[in-house]
Amino acid sequence: MMAGMTETPHPLYDRHAETLNRALAAITERGYWSAYPESPSPRVYGETAAADGKAAFEAYLDGDFPLDQPGTDDRVATEASPFGLKLGVRYPHAGADALVAAASAALPGWRDAGPQARVGVCLEILDRLHKHVFELANAVQFTTGQAFVMAFQAGGAHALDRALEALAYGYAEMTRHPGTAGWEKAAGKGEPLRMTKTFHVVPRGVALVVGCNTFPTWNSYPGLFASLVTGNPVVVKPHPRAVLPLAITVRYAREVLAEAGFDPNLILLAPEAPGEKLASTLALHPAVKIVDFTGSTEYGDWLEANARQAAVYTEKAGLNTVVVDSTDDFAGMCRNLGFTLSLYSGQMCTTSQNILIPAGGIATDQGHKSFDEVAAGIAGAVGKLTADPARGVEFTGAIVNDGVLARLAEVTGVGETVLESRAVEHPAFPDAVVRTPTIVKLPADATDTYSQEWFGPISFVIATDSTAHSLEILKATVGEKGALTAAVYATDEAVLDAAEAAAIEVGVHLSANLTGGVFVNQSAAFSDFHGSGANPAANAALTDGAYVANRFRIVQSRRPA
């Protein structure tokens, strides 16, 4: 019998079996669960954790990042912090062929180790990353512009939860039937026919993960760990401006792999020189069989059209939409939307952009509110959150890149400004680029404007004829361009049902009547699906069966028993 499916329990599997089993239960229940505490409090992580993590982060600056990878020709340093910090980390730089060759050579041993060993090693990697979560949080903060707490949560704890979720789905999929099975079929009066069948989990090949600038870990971990646990070596191509969080990830993953006796080249960092287009070279490499990408629609579409030898999973741009019909908590609605628009200056792929409000206004617990009053209510909530610079920057963080600034400039000309974007001086980082959100009023026929994504702190309040009209606009725009999130505010069940029907029709996840501490731009691992794959904003969801099932194949052998 071949190795692989008749494995003895791996010590790292045993060590993490409880976490895995809890995660396996969580993905079937989809209630609340989290494995990695989201509070960076010293009461949770210890008195020195924050300082140690910061020091570890700072030790990387202006130095050669410690990564012993094959094929290194030179080093590249391409990052610039939105907080104005000089990073200057130099990463080992190799060509696509050298990376793919090293990854390919690592495949057989990892494949033959089997699902239990692989999931054990991957869980140990998450555990190791969790031990360095403050280091990771600092790296995420200073490459993306997220404020610290958000970087800790979204870039650290929640990213690890999403990784664990992907591991659980991958493991469940690989083990949904046994590694070996007996087969016995009656054969008339003779002896029964008896066979022993072995089912090998066989990976697709080398996997490529193309990271994004804003959520280098959260958006990369699901694909990375889904591919790795199913047996595929992973080449991680970070965004040139957000290399460090993934470099740290690769560093500790390689450390764990080597300790466990596996080839560390099962995971490789592929930083690129300016203008190199390494992602495209890697994505078209014949040995690359899986691509995970988060970023622009243009490049995602290019990957889907061109990386034909690979299974391609993309999360792209979209038109996140809010339908405001009525509310029994006007203040709560405005606070909730204000928080969503302010968080990370609207630079989340889940931030609402198009807020559809009947031109005639809406019914609320505070009586009828006109369109302008609703717009002013939301604008006021943003204003309140961002009024004090010291407090405001803890919500907004900094602006990730110049493209956002350009759009902020451009948007002033497209409609009537309800809330102006302000430049804010960061109290701790004088060179940080901080901008508060803007809200612009548009008529319903300004489709050309609001049916494109204005990534950044830019939202539109759009005056519609009615809620029915708002739902038509939602269906038309999201159907055509996609969305990761939609929200509705309504007191009438029939309106909520109509919104849900519209959301189902265009395949977008819907949140209803959020007025408290749950926000439309946040999704919780193990419970909320992120993206649906049912509209143009993404061709897959994080994480479901479809996200993992195609990353490996079953190859069967049978012998007479």
- Chain residues binding a second copy by CB under 8 A are 2, 27-32, 111, 173, 176-178, 181-185, 187, 190, 193, 195, 197-200, 202, 204, 304-305, 308, 496-497, 500-501, 503-504, 507-518, 524, 527-529, 532-534, 541, 544-546, 549-550, 553-560
User: To which residue do tokens 């939860």 refer?
Assistant: 161
Report the residue number, 328 or 372, with the smaller CB distance to a second copy: 328
Tell me how far, at minimum, the Cβ of 194 lies from a second copy, in Å.
9
Tell me how far, at minimum, the Cβ of 262 lies from a second copy, in Å.
18
Report the residue number, 118 or 251, with the smaller CB distance to a second copy: 118
Region at 513 (left for phi over 0; alpha for psi -120 to 50; beta for the rest): left
Asked if 333 contacts 363 with a C-beta cutoff of 8 angstroms, the reply is no
Q: Tokens standing for 79?
A: 């990052």
Tell me how far, at minimum, the Cβ of 518 lies from a second copy, in Å.
5
Asked if 375 contacts 381 with a C-beta cutoff of 8 angstroms, the reply is no
Closest CA to 135 of 233, 33, 245, 212: 245
Q: What is the DSSP string of 455-494?
A: -SSEEEEEEES-HHHHHHHHHHHHHHH--S-EEEE-S-HH
* β-pair type (367-369, 362-364): antiparallel
Cis peptide before 543 (omega within 30 of 0): yes
The C-alpha atoms of residue 120 and residue 267 are separated, in whole angstroms, by: 16
Tell me how far, at minimum, the Cβ of 191 lies from a second copy, in Å.
9
Tell me how far, at minimum, the Cβ of 383 lies from a second copy, in Å.
25
Side chain identity at 263, as an amino acid letter?
D
Report the residue number, 181 or 476, with the smaller CB distance to a second copy: 181
Report the residue number, 338 or 533, with the smaller CB distance to a second copy: 533
Give the C-alpha distances (Å, rounded to integers) separating 289 from 205, 232, 293, 310: 5, 9, 13, 4
Report the residue number, 271 or 533, with the smaller CB distance to a second copy: 533
The C-alpha atoms of residue 269 and residue 79 are separated, in whole angstroms, by: 15
Tell me how far, at minimum, the Cβ of 509 lies from a second copy, in Å.
5
Helix axis angle for 133-144 and 96-131, nearest 10°, is 120
Residue partners of 446: CB distance under 8 A and separation at least 6: 414, 415, 460, 462
Report the residue number, 124 or 329, with the smaller CB distance to a second copy: 329
Q: Tokens standing for 139?
A: 């790296």
Tell me how far, at minimum, the Cβ of 351 lies from a second copy, in Å.
17
Measure CA 482 to chain center: 17
Q: CA torsion 141→145→150→151, rounded to 10°? A: -20
Report the residue number, 65 or 395, with the smaller CB distance to a second copy: 395
Tell me how far, at minimum, the Cβ of 13 lies from a second copy, in Å.
20
Report the residue number, 25 or 51, with the smaller CB distance to a second copy: 25
Tell me how far, at minimum, the Cβ of 475 lies from a second copy, in Å.
13
